[in-house]
């Protein structure tokens, strides 16, 4: 009896091992087949709905001629990833997220979707039932302020004069992460000049608020925030609101010049500022408010970098937050090294590319 049980276990183990080896071989062939000509790997990097929504909103902020075919495909994508709760999540089938939902609704309405359409009504109901767009995060509020939906009193003061602080100052852009500073620096220029989106059709989203949007002030304390930090930063913001108007025009101009110089040292070709969507978008909007035309080389270069993030298929389109060849090549080479002999030359070529 014991011998029979061992034989059965051995048979199951053999079959499992064979199936595993077959799966590894199949996956290896798939990876080798998707390698780029120079030996690296790069796959699509899909995030949540906020990036394609922001791409649409950026185009309308700039007043660019509508690319109706592209916008229709982005609308198809946004409708498909809408959650069962009526709003949009940050992960597939995830919980409702207010900022993702507000941006996605705004983008769909900007594209031309009727507010009376069933999916729009469901989204609006989901947003209002959770207190409305007043609960959007700070980056969404900045976007809404630039579209004139909310007032600039609803966002923190971001004095561009920060760019003139010495490196030993308690706060300096060199002391925060690269993605944060490349996002913040052009945003500080936008906060200083307070532009208004061209928004040719005058599209708004007042219907997503339970109160008059322009009456809204700063965000309330979030559950995850400690009272100490909240009161400290709210106090700093109150002080900055008083002293910011006292900064001279000459000082502001110097600070804006410093911000532009900071960005132009980091344009990064057609891979874009910071290699991620938010600083690229902020940079294009910064050039717009500074009066630089669409063909101004740094602006045009950054706009092309944004175009490279688009993934367009027959029926849908979305915008990636960034491209991921370094991640993808690293992970793939690691897998191929584990897979063994036949994959080793390809893994070496990928590592040489890195």
pLDDT at position 341: 80
- When pLDDT is cut at 50, 70 and 90, the band that residue 3 belongs to is low
Q: Is residue 25 part of a domain?
A: no
Q: Is residue 188 part of a domain?
A: yes
The helix/strand/coil state of 113 is: coil
Q: Is residue 226 part of a domain?
A: no
pLDDT at position 240: 81
CA atoms within 13 A on the CB side of 283: 34
Q: Mean pLDDT over all residues of the chain?
A: 94
Burial class, 70, CB count within 10 angstroms (exposed 0-12 / middle 13-18 / buried 19+): middle
Q: Is residue 13 part of a domain?
A: no
d(C-alpha 245, C-alpha 194), whole Å = 13
pLDDT tens per residue, range 340-352: 888 999 999 999 9
> Long-range contacts for 77-84 (Cβ within 8 Å, ≥24 apart)?
77/49, 77/52, 77/316, 77/317, 77/318, 78/49, 78/52, 78/53, 78/104, 78/107, 78/108, 79/108, 79/119, 80/316, 81/48, 81/49, 82/119, 82/122, 82/123
d(C-alpha 35, C-alpha 30), whole Å = 9
Nearest CA-CA partner of 70 in 124, 118, 107, 40? 107
Structurally, the chain folds into a number of domains equal to 1
Q: Is residue 78 part of a domain?
A: yes
| Range name among 185-189, 193-197, 237-241, 308-312 with the lowest pLDDT average | 237-241
Q: Is residue 234 part of a domain?
A: no
Q: Is residue 24 part of a domain?
A: no
Instruction: State the residue range of the domain holding 148.
Output: 50-219+245-319
Q: Is residue 1 part of a domain?
A: no
Nearest CA-CA partner of 316 in 69, 102, 107? 69
CATH number at residue 291: 1.50.10.20
pTM above 0.75, yes or no: yes
Mean pLDDT, rounded, for 294-323: 98
Mean pLDDT, rounded, for 328-346: 93
Query: Which residues neighbour 80 within 8 Å (Cβ) at sequence distance 6 or greater?
Result: 316
> Long-range contacts for 111-119 (Cβ within 8 Å, ≥24 apart)?
111/56, 111/71, 111/72, 111/74, 111/75, 112/71, 113/75, 115/207, 119/79, 119/82
pLDDT at position 2: 56
């Amino acid at each position: 009896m014991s011998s029979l049980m061992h034989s059965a276990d051995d048979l199951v183990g053999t079959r499992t091992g064979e199936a595993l080896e077959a799966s590894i071989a199949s996956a290896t062939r798939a990876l080798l087949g998707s390698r780029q000509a120079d030996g690296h790997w790069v796959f699509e990097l899909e995030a949540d709905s906020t990036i394609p929504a922001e791409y649409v909103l950026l185009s309308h902020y700039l007043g660019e001629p509508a690319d109706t075919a592209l916008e229709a495909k982005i609308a198809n994508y946004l409708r498909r990833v809408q959650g069962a709760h009526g709003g949009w999540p940050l992960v597939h089938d995830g919980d409702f997220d207010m900022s993702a939902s507000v941006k996605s609704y705004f983008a769909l309405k900007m594209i031309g979707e009727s507010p009376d359409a069933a999916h729009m009504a469901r989204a609006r109901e989901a947003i209002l039932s959770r207190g409305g767009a007043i609960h959007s995060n700070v980056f969404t509020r900045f976007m809404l302020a630039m579209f004139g939906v909310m007032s600039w009193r609803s966002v923190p003061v971001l004095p561009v004069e920060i760019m003139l602080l010495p490196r030993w100052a308690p706060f300096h852009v060199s002391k925060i992460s690269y993605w944060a500073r490349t996002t913040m620096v052009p945003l500080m220029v936008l906060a200083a000049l307070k532009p208004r989106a061209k928004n040719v059709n005058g599209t708004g989203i007042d219907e997503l608020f339970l109160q008059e949007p322009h009456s809204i002030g700063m965000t309330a304390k979030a559950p995850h925030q400690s009272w100490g930090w909240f009161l400290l930063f709210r106090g700093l913001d109150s002080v900055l609101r008083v002293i910011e108007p006292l900064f001279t025009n000459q000082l502001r101009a110097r600070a804006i010049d410093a911000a532009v110089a900071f960005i132009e040292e980091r344009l990064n070709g057609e891979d874009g500022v910071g290699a991620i969507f938010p600083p690229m978008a902020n940079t294009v909007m910064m050039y717009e408010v500074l009066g630089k035309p669409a063909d101004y080389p740094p602006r045009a270069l950054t706009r092309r970098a944004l175009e490279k993030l688009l993934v367009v298929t027959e029926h849908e389109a979305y915008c990636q937050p960034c491209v991921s060849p370094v991640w993808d090549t690293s992970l793939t080479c690691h897998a191929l090294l584990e897979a063994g002999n036949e994959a080793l030359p390809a893994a070496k070529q990928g590592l040489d590319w890195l």
